Amino acid sequence: MLVIAAVAAIFVYGMIASMLGSILPDLSKRFSLSPAQNGAIAMTQAIGLVIGSLLQGPLIDLQGKKVGLVLGLGLIALALLLLPRSKGFGSIRLYMLILGTGGGIIVAGANALVNDVKTDNPAALFNGFNTFFGLGGIATPFIAANLLGGNSFKLCNLTAALTIATLGLHTATDMPLPTGVVQFQFSDVPALLANPNLFLPAMLLFLYVAAEVGVWNWLVKYLISQGIDEKKALNILSFGFALGLLAGRLLVAFVPALKELSPTTLLMGSAVLIAATTFAMLQFKDANLAWGAVFLAGMAMAPVFPTALSVVGAKFSTGTATAIGIAVTCGWLGLVTSSPIIGSVANSSSSGGLKKALLLLPATGVLMFFVTLAL
């Protein structure tokens, strides 16, 4: 039941990760949103993710993983139920803040729950667990494109129902008791980040999340701007990027040659491939070629997040949830930084602005290579 609960939580988070990119085209039409406003919405969700990640450490220490995960799922369900009642840009930002906060709590809490499972190969365990993130990422754009006709409000209501069912599962599942001692102290953050065992994986996640969530949030709008219709664009996000993430994590979890690679070797190879594949996916207007490049980008990104977290978990045998929470928070700060940059650059030009803005994605791959080299 514990494993099923963790899998269900990360599946829901996978659906949330691809939610904004799936609903943004419809929301932009309904409320006449500009690229800069799209960027502000993505940034607000990222701020919520930061808040949730910071909250989850003390919350889990004092109340336990169960309370944290139930609260996170409850916030997600609330935000999804409110989004169809949005009146405009301001209310969308508020609901996305709530959605991000819930997401930040469950992604860090679920990974901390998985860390309780002892194994000789934590990198393979984390990659196997996070394949269900890929399944959730496939589900949202697929449902939006093929079952709901791109209707963002129906998609929110359906995902809310699935989230409420997951909340019920977590409520009924026994989980480890809280320690009762707050391991996370804001005053400890500078000293922890000065430790290369945390600082370098945290910096890697800062860059990686800017790239991964940049694809989740902006790919569909970019493909539409290149003349690809919305249904095909959503399916490219689902069966291209999300499927690539899923396939990549399965390979790392189960292929012996990849399982035997050291975490740093795996991360370095991923960084090189991220730079190459995200640059390639910006070069195609043909839907089939774009799908191939996007699929490869998903495979390249697949090992980074779980492998980086496994590195943190291996280095911090005590205060693991706190260390993971700080690392994940640094990842969300990457999105807080990149979202307004992408939106601003895209807004500055009526022709090719979004393509120029998304060159930030391959640039992060190059920077990730050097951070991994230091690691």
Question: Quick one: average pLDDT of 197-217?
Answer: 90
Above 70 in pLDDT, residue 374? yes
pLDDT digits (tens, 9 = 90+) for 185-204: 666 667 677 778 888 899 99
- Which tokens belong to 83? 């989004």
> How many CA atoms lie within 13 Å of 113's alpha carbon, on the beta-carbon side?
32
Question: Quick one: average pLDDT of 18-27?
Answer: 88
pLDDT over 90 percentage in the chain: 39
- Residue spans of the domains in the chain: they are 2-374
The 3-class SS string of 311-336 reads: HHHHHCCCCHHHHHHHHHHHHHHHHH
Rounded to whole angstroms, the Cα distance separating 79 from 159 reads 11
Is-contact 57 189, C-beta < 8 A?
no
Rounded to whole angstroms, the Cα distance separating 355 from 283 reads 9
Q: Higher confidence at residue 375 or residue 281?
A: 281
Largest CA distance in the chain: 56
What local confidence, expressed as pLDDT, does residue 297 receive? 96
Give 179's pLDDT tier (boundaries 50, 70, 90). Answer: low
Question: Quick one: average pLDDT of 327-332?
Answer: 84
pLDDT digits (tens, 9 = 90+) for 272-313: 999 999 999 999 889 999 999 999 999 999 989 888 888 887
Question: Quick one: average pLDDT of 120-131?
Answer: 69
pLDDT over 70 percentage in the chain: 90
Rounded to whole angstroms, the Cα distance separating 241 from 88 reads 29
- Which tokens belong to 314? 């291996």
User: Tokens 């599942």 belong to which residue?
Assistant: 173
What local confidence, expressed as pLDDT, does residue 203 receive? 93
What local confidence, expressed as pLDDT, does residue 347 receive? 81
Q: Among residues 46, 109, 99, which one has the least CA distance to residue 74?
A: 99
Q: Model pTM? A: 0.80
DSSP class per residue in 77-102? HHHHHHGGG--SHHHHHHHHHHHHHH
3-class DSSP state of 302: coil
Instruction: Name the most confidently modeled range: 160-169, 255-264, 348-357.
Output: 160-169
Between helix 89-114 and helix 122-129 the angle, nearest 10°, is 140
pLDDT digits (tens, 9 = 90+) for 316-328: 766 666 677 788 7
- First-to-last CA distance in the chain? 36
2-374, CATH topology level: Growth Hormone; Chain: A; (1.20.1250)
3-state SS of the chain: helix, strand, coil percent to 5?
85, 0, 15
Rounded to whole angstroms, the Cα distance separating 63 from 71 reads 11
- Which residue type occupies 258? L
Rounded to whole angstroms, the Cα distance separating 176 from 112 reads 11
Is-contact 240 295, C-beta < 8 A?
yes
Q: Among residues 97, 42, 19, 18, which one has the least CA distance to residue 336?
A: 42
Give 180's pLDDT tier (boundaries 50, 70, 90). Answer: low
What value, to the nearest 5°, has the Cα angle with vertex 284 and ends 278 and 290?
Answer: 70
Above 80 in pLDDT, residue 175? no
What local confidence, expressed as pLDDT, does residue 235 receive? 93
Above 70 in pLDDT, residue 353? yes
Is-contact 140 19, C-beta < 8 A?
yes
Rounded to whole angstroms, the Cα distance separating 192 from 199 reads 7
